[in-house]
Copies of this chain bind each other. A is one copy, B any other.
Amino acid sequence: MANEKIPYKIYLTEEEMPKNWYNLRADMRVKPAPLLNPGTLEPMTAKELSAVFCDELIAQELDNTTPEIPIPDEIRSFYRMYRPSPLVRAYCLEEKLDTPAHIYYKFEGNNTSGSHKLNSAIAQAYYAKKQGLRGVTTETGAGQWGTALSMACAYLGLDCKVYMVKVSYEQKPFRREVMRTYGASVTPSPSMETSVGRKILAEHPGTTGSLGCAISEAVEAAAANPGYRYVLGSVLNQVLLHQSIIGLETKTALDKYGIVPDMIIGCAGGGSNLGGLIAPFMGEKLRGERDYRIIAVEPASCPSFTRGKFAYDFCDTGMICPLAKMYTLGAGFIPSPNHAGGLRFHGMSPVLSQLFHDGLMEARAVEQTSVFEAAELFARTEGILPAPESSHAIRAAIDEALKCKETGEAKNIVFGLTGTGYFDLVAYEQYNNGTMTDYIPTDEDLAAGFAGLPRQPQE
């Protein structure tokens, strides 16, 4: 089919959709470092993790050797409701840029959660249901992950309890109402429902909350309520495993038309989209079958890859979760308030951190006004209003396409368009009004975060 005209959108048939997730860790010579018990600095055992996570998800979290893990039929049925997602040839953007490059994007926003998060939400909810649990707890900031989890739980008849950062709960009521429409209970965090919430409220009565506090509340609620477990939308190995569906579909679609990407670009916050998108391509690279440039794009205001340290750190600011070895800005790092989009997590997926450390991928940081400039151009030419997160990848894809224009090279650029920006219009309004600003943390800002790193095992 290599000579056939490439359509605007490549959709796989149901038969072509992946039947297995791909576990990239199986092909990594240097495995990601294990999660550590923060008290003993010993690797967390499955038993220790079982108070918080579902058993089958723990097995996936710890499995560094099985390359293919079958996707259960029930999850594949759910995937068929909103997948396959299209791989789109950005003909209109190419024409606008007047570039010889061929630009493709894998669009994960065509579902009500508005992003790729649903791919892992349904998997995590499924295993919780299968274990006979009553429900799951989680935290959410602006609400993308919480919405995805609510949808998955509604489908399976599972209770869903979301702790939503209070300032988002009050100022961004729309995602909250989507979650409620899907039957989730949404609690502004910090709340009086948990001891950590009560403690924080006693110390800081006027606080508007933080993601770290919401994580702590959700973890406590899962541990305290029989039949509940905690679930997380990024960072973890299991999440990257589920998200490999993105990359597997992308690769199948490209292979159908004989297209070989020169570079694969994704935005990076906790790493769930990037890790999923690149998985099968990185696998080929690790096995020495083919080489690709792989580029992570992160906000200059939260630059874990480009300015972070590769060290063990807490995943939550409450410091009750296991330690993960990752590129981190310190669990106490909080991006400047003028940071508009997502990608605010202080750390990075241990899998991606190891790959980056081993020189297998690149990373770059971009500033938010340039990100929104790219978002606007993309919206006007490709017709999709992108999420700010996704627009980091758009920025890099446009920059690479413009380099091709200079050199005259017809490179194949593939990037991940993780979602839509329909709930991010306050940020778009700032951009439209010219009031959006940039922010790059100083070395002193970063030093404060690094000072809070926990004791390292080798010390």
**B177, A429: Cβ atoms closer than 8 Å:** yes
Bitwise, A372-398 to B at CB < 8 A (1) or not (0) is: 000010011111110000000000000
Bitwise, A348-381 to B at CB < 8 A (1) or not (0) is: 0000000000000000000000000000100111
The distance from the CB of A147 to the nearest CB of chain B, in whole angstroms, is 9
**A379, B81: Cβ atoms closer than 8 Å:** no
**B432, A180: Cβ atoms closer than 8 Å:** yes
The distance from the CB of A256 to the nearest CB of chain B, in whole angstroms, is 13
- For A181, the chain B residues whose CB sits under 8 A away are 376, 379-380, 385, 428, 431-432
- For A192, the chain B residues whose CB sits under 8 A away are none
Known: A177-B428, A380-B183, A422-B423. A385 touches B11 (CB 8 A): no
**A425, B177: Cβ atoms closer than 8 Å:** yes
Bitwise, A1-36 to B at CB < 8 A (1) or not (0) is: 000000111010110000000000000000000000
A92 on the B face (CB < 8 A): yes
On chain A, which size bracket covers the interface?
A: 35 or more
Bitwise, A83-122 to B at CB < 8 A (1) or not (0) is: 0000000011000000000000000001110100000000
Pick the contact of A381: B114, B155, B173 (CB < 8 A). Answer: B155
The distance from the CB of A31 to the nearest CB of chain B, in whole angstroms, is 35
**B8, A81: Cβ atoms closer than 8 Å:** yes
A154 on the B face (CB < 8 A): yes
Pick the contact of A92: B9, B110, B155, B383 (CB < 8 A). Answer: B155
Of all chain B residues, the one with the shortest Cβ separation from A182 is: B380
A423–B384 Cα gap in the complex (Å)?
A: 16
Bitwise, A174-202 to B at CB < 8 A (1) or not (0) is: 10011011110000000000000000000
A80 on the B face (CB < 8 A): yes
A218 on the B face (CB < 8 A): no
A118–B111 Cα gap in the complex (Å)?
A: 19
A420 on the B face (CB < 8 A): yes
Question: Chain A: interface secondary structure?
Answer: helix
**A8, B80: Cβ atoms closer than 8 Å:** yes
**Copies of this polypeptide in the complex:** 2
A9–B80 Cα gap in the complex (Å)?
A: 8
Pick the contact of A380: B155, B174, B177, B422 (CB < 8 A). Answer: B155
Within 8 A of B (CB), among A306-332: none
**B173, A429: Cβ atoms closer than 8 Å:** yes
- For A382, the chain B residues whose CB sits under 8 A away are 81
A111–B110 Cα gap in the complex (Å)?
A: 8
**B432, A177: Cβ atoms closer than 8 Å:** yes
A151 on the B face (CB < 8 A): yes
- For A82, the chain B residues whose CB sits under 8 A away are 383
Of all chain B residues, the one with the shortest Cβ separation from A90 is: B81
A91–B380 Cα gap in the complex (Å)?
A: 35
Known: A110-B110, A112-B379, A383-B82. A425 touches B173 (CB 8 A): yes
The distance from the CB of A425 to the nearest CB of chain B, in whole angstroms, is 4
**B380, A154: Cβ atoms closer than 8 Å:** yes
The distance from the CB of A290 to the nearest CB of chain B, in whole angstroms, is 29
**A422, B422: Cβ atoms closer than 8 Å:** yes
A114–B379 Cα gap in the complex (Å)?
A: 14
**B7, A385: Cβ atoms closer than 8 Å:** no
- For A420, the chain B residues whose CB sits under 8 A away are 112
A81–B376 Cα gap in the complex (Å)?
A: 17
The distance from the CB of A193 to the nearest CB of chain B, in whole angstroms, is 20
The distance from the CB of A432 to the nearest CB of chain B, in whole angstroms, is 5
Most chain-B CB neighbours within 10 Å: which of A11, A376, A385? A385
Of all chain B residues, the one with the shortest Cβ separation from A372 is: B181
Within 8 A of B (CB), among A116-158: 151, 154-155
